[in-house]
Amino acid sequence: MSDRTAGLTTAAEQAHRFLTGLDDRPVGARADAAAVRGLLDGPLPEHGEDPDRVITALVDGAEPGLVAGAGPRHFGFVIGGVLPAALAADWLVSAWDQCAAFHSLSPAAAAIEEITAAWILDLLGLPDTASVGFVTGGQGANTTCLAAARHAALAKVGWNVERDGLIGAPPLRVVCGEQAHVTIDTALRLLGLGDSTSVRVPADDQGRMDPQALQRILASSSEPTIVCAQAGNVSTGAFDDFGPIADACDEHGAWLHIDGAFGLWAAAAPGTRHLTRGVERADSWAVDAHKWLNVPYDAAMAIVADSEAHLAAMSLAGPYLVTDPVHRDSTNYVPESSRRSRAVPVYAALRSLGRSGLAELIERNCAQARRMARRLQDIPGAKIRNDVVLNQVLLRLPGGDDANRAAVAAVQRDGTCWLGGTTWRGEYVVRLSFSNWSTTDDDIDRSAEAIAVAARSVAAAG
């Protein structure tokens, strides 16, 4: 096979067809995994096939199982779209095929990470001396940051966890709000700290950690402690009160980590920046790029104020590897060695939006969340269960949990939009998230009507 571009034209044509039809296609998938397997499965060919034929067959088989997650009416989870510049840059990442681990393997990748990291710190109002690692998502970011926190907390009591492990280590306490995201629990499990060992701080009706309760917990023990706070509750969008939380952590010498997977971007917009007041006082931060920044999967940032702790936790060790004394070896900031240049589409997204464009995107999506909440309140018996302070809306329809589950299923079957459900304070509720650059007010109104129709049909069916 000598043609390096074989299949690319076919792939571009198929991608163009998908993207130009994205606004109008049903948002949910039309087939499950079993049906897709039926179209794509079979014995591995004895002889290789033509790339154009492979791509065409792949598209034909996968297409019924594709979700229009990048489209303007996908309101499930917190799913961003894909900015055109970020998508184009992501294609270049694959074409260039650079290993972003070491400066010697790709000076371009190292330089773009440094530039993009500086832009992100500036946009989010974080210390310009903080170190940034480009990871896969919120899970990778929380794990990386908490690894740095584990190093620093145990180093204070004379224990080198990277060298000596956790067997025989001094006790280490982790404190989280009772509404902490599940990726915090998984990170603790991966780090050998246990996913059920954290002390849980009571939260209010919006999921915000109680700072006074945190103060009492921190005062109850002198063990080295890591505190996990939240910028943007995944259900309500609420923010912890970072000022008094940081005060308590400073007083008791605790490391403060902030999980800001989507909510931390609020710092980049004048209309929402107040929600992040005090966030710069933390020791580490996690933030996704494939959510509100609308970068293709996967991309996120692990940000650590103490770069020495970050490097101590993540640096690649090996007898044949020598760290570049002058240039950035990016592997030293993330758990991976071989990896793609995922900072490239982040760079492209930020440059294509600019400071004002990013702020406009964030504020527009927040306004759309408020618009949707107003429209949904017109449904008889419906109640909005959260204060819509950001981009999240929780809707409780009449008729109990089963009726709300049935309404979610009916909306998903209809295909006008896609939303999910969750359990909030003991009730099953409808959850909607708004973080797509291409969503319009017309998409909001059209989707609100589809939700109302589903609610009426469920009510009529008893």
Phi and psi at 293, nearest 5°, equal -80, -10
Q: Where are the domains of the chain?
A: 85-347
Give the C-alpha separation, 300 to 289, whole Å. Answer: 5
CB count, 10 Å around CB of 195? Answer: 14
Spatial neighbors of 183 by CB under 8 A, at least 6 apart, are 138, 139, 142, 143, 259, 261
Tens of pLDDT, residue by residue, the chain (462 residues): 579 999 999 999 999 999 999 999 999 999 999 999 999 999 999 999 999 999 999 999 999 999 999 999 999 999 999 999 999 999 999 999 999 999 999 999 999 999 999 999 999 999 999 999 999 999 999 999 999 999 999 999 999 999 999 999 999 999 999 999 999 999 999 999 998 899 999 999 999 999 999 999 999 999 999 999 999 999 999 999 999 999 999 999 999 999 999 999 999 999 999 999 999 999 999 999 999 999 999 999 999 999 999 999 999 866 556 666 788 999 999 999 999 999 999 999 999 999 999 999 999 999 999 999 999 999 999 999 999 999 999 999 999 999 999 999 999 999 999 999 999 999 999 999 999 999 999 999 999 999 999 999 999 987
- What number does CATH give the domain 85-347? 3.40.640.10
Specify the DSSP element, H or E, that contains 446: helix 441-460
Specify the DSSP element, H or E, that contains 256: strand 255-259
Please name the residue ranges forming H helices in 132-241. Answer: 138-155, 161-164, 182-190, 211-219
DSSP bridge partners of 255: 226
**Cα dihedral 246→251→205→405 (10° resolution):** 70
Spatial neighbors of 23 by CB under 8 A, at least 6 apart, are 71, 72, 438
Give the C-alpha separation, 226 to 255, whole Å. Answer: 5
The string over 232-267, giving b where at least 16 C-beta atoms fall within 10 Å of a residue's C-beta and e elsewhere, is bbbbbbbbbbbebbbebbeebebbbbbbbbbbbbbb
> By the 8 A CB rule, do 361 and 353 touch?
yes
Give the C-alpha separation, 53 to 78, whole Å. Answer: 35
Beta sheet of 392-396, edge-to-edge order: 383-384, 392-396, 427-433, 420-424
> By the 8 A CB rule, do 403 and 397 touch?
yes
Dihedral sign for Cα atoms in the order 308, 314, 315, 319: positive
Give the C-alpha separation, 376 to 79, whole Å. Answer: 21
Please name the residue ranges forming H helices in 125-190. Answer: 138-155, 161-164, 182-190
DSSP bridge partners of 115: none
The reply to whether omega before 205 is within 30° of 0 (cis) is no
Give the C-alpha separation, 24 to 225, whole Å. Answer: 51
Provide Rg for the chain, Cα atoms: 23
- Identify the CA nearest to 297 among candidates 81, 4, 28: 81
DSSP bridge partners of 326: none
Give the C-alpha separation, 72 to 116, whole Å. Answer: 27
- Identify the CA nearest to 276 among candidates 285, 286, 284, 266: 266
Q: Which residue has the tokens 């499965």?
A: 41
Spatial neighbors of 367 by CB under 8 A, at least 6 apart, are none
Confidence (pTM): 0.97
Spatial neighbors of 131 by CB under 8 A, at least 6 apart, are 117, 303, 304, 307, 310, 311, 333
